[in-house]
Every structure is written in C-alpha cells, then in structure tokens.
Amino acid sequence: MKVFKKIVDLQNELFLVRKEGKEIGLVPTMGALHEGHASLIKRSVKENGATVVSIFLNPTQFNDKGDLERYPRTLEADCKLCEACGAQYVFAPSVEEMYPTPDTRHFEFPPQSTVMEGAKRPGHFNGVCQVVSRLFYIVKPNRAYFGEKDWQQIAVVKRLVNYIGYDKLVHIVECPIVRDEDGLAKSSRNTLLTPEERAIAPNIYKALKASVDYAKDHTVKETHDKVVADINAIDGLDVEYFEIVDGNTLLDVNNWDDSDYVVGCITVYCGHTPIRLIDHIKYKDPETK
C-alpha cells in the first residue's frame, strides 16, 4: 500500500491505474478509522481495481473549533487498517495541500442541507461539499463510498454531484451502518466517551429500535415524543433534536401516510463534555417492501 501526501503524486499514480483499465473507488474519511470504515474499504476493494482512502480532518466543516481540536487523530493505526482491508492507496494531505488558498465556494442545497444538522451546525455541509468536491476533482473516482450513519450527509452529497456535473461520472454507494453488539453505531467519536458514557450511549439505538413497533399503532407526534422522553430519562443523555422526516426531501412528516419513505434522525449529547452522537432509524422503506 502506498501513502500519498501530495495531490500531484497521487494523480500521477492514478493516471497509470486508469491506463491499465482499472476502475477507482474512493472512501473519504476524517481518520480515526473503525469497523464501519473497514466495511466501506472492503466493499470498495471488492468492486474496484484500485481503492483510495482519503484521511483528512477537514477544518471547514467544523463550526465548533473545540470539536475539531478534540477529534481523534490516529494516522498510523488508520494506515494499518487500510492496508489490512486491501486498500492500495491512502491519501493523507495537509490542510495547506488541500486548501492552498481559502476555499470561498458556497454550497447550499435546501432542504437537504438546511434542516437538522444543517440548522444546528451552520456551515457544516458547506465544508463537507468543499472537501468532497475537492476529493472528486483530485481522485476522479468511479465510485465513492459513504456510510449510512451520516445519513443526511449522503443526501447532500447526492445533490452536490448533480450540481458539479459529476452525476454521470461517480456513483455514490451507500453502505449500511455498522453497530457494536449493544447497538451503538460505530463512530470515531465513540473513542472520546468515558467508560460510564459508553455504557449509557446504547440507549439511543435501544429507544429508536423500540419506537418502530410503537409507531405501528401511534401517531408520528406520539412516537417522536416517546423517543425523546425515553432517551432524556437516562442520566447523561440529552436529545438535541429528533426529527421524523421524508427520506428523500428530509422535510418533516406529520402522518405516516405522508410518505412511503420515513426516517427518524436523532442527535444526542452524551456525558458532561459532552460528546455529540448521531443515529437514525427507518420507519418506512420502499426498498424493503
């Protein structure tokens, strides 16, 4: 496996890869890799002739600089995981390499980029679009792999590829959430949890999962209120938002019959630091009918 820090060196290598007729998969990450990332890398390796894993802690998508400073940095361990999963290349640029000048581009794709995370973290999705578009320009992948844990992000990235004219060039591959045995969604932020916080964090998914049966004979509002109440009843957990939305538009639904694709999206503060955890649950999914 080769590790590149310079854009030109990676591009020269990928020119040779394309010359051999191989397709390229890209797995964009911010590092602190775990089994969820490993599942993306392995799928890319299986589906492409070459896989590039980008490891770049993108500062432009953090509206909270303290959150950026706390984010775990584990490049050496990340590279070992990438190699073990079969990736051929890691791209680990510096901030100066990715942004030699300030990126002044502004991306907004309402409603997908303006609700939930977009409303709570101003500028976050603009930063995501800045870095993802840069990576697409640099790597020019045939496929790009994103985990469904960052479910809203996928919706925004799909809008982005249409906007920049890459919709026919790169296929966005959505990969299922990987969870620990107790249900907690794998996340780089989990490493920041204390043992006590880690012990209570699975109650988020427990409440979401239980709400699927509850929703069968209760209204959207009743289901929403129960999830929030059940999670907030746990000392150390505090729901920032829980929205039950149309899976395509990300706009709120008021009745279960409003859409054939209904998803509950949640963000919860865990502990006293606190650590911000996201998750979601599907109430109605046309693909499972």
CA 127: distance to chain centroid?
A: 13
Residue 33 assigned to a binding site: yes
- Tell me the torsion sign for CA atoms 44, 37, 53, 158: positive
Residue 88 assigned to a binding site: no
Enumerate domains of the chain plus CATH numbers. 2-175 (3.40.50.620), 190-280 (3.30.1300.10)
Write out the catalytic residue numbers.
37
Q: How far apart are the first and last CA of the chain?
A: 42
CA nearest 59: which of 110, 8, 107, 93? 93
Residue 153 assigned to a binding site: yes
How would you classify the pairing of strands 143-147 and 171-175? parallel
Give yes or no for a contact between 210 and 232, defined as CB atoms under 8 angstroms apart.
no
The reported pLDDT for the residue numbered 286 is: 86
Residue 123 assigned to a binding site: no
The reported pLDDT for the residue numbered 67 is: 83
Tokens (6 digits) for 9: 């060196």
DSSP 8-state symbol, 6: S
- Tell me the torsion sign for CA atoms 247, 250, 251, 252: positive
Which pLDDT tens digits describe the chain residue by residue (289 residues)?
999 999 999 999 999 999 999 999 999 999 999 999 999 999 999 999 999 999 999 999 998 888 888 888 999 999 999 999 999 999 999 999 999 999 999 999 999 999 999 999 999 999 999 999 999 999 999 999 999 999 999 999 999 999 999 999 999 999 999 999 999 999 999 999 999 999 999 999 999 999 999 999 999 999 999 999 999 999 999 999 999 999 999 999 999 999 999 999 999 999 988 999 999 999 999 877 5
Residue 149 assigned to a binding site: yes
Q: What 3-state class would DSSP assign to 248?
A: coil
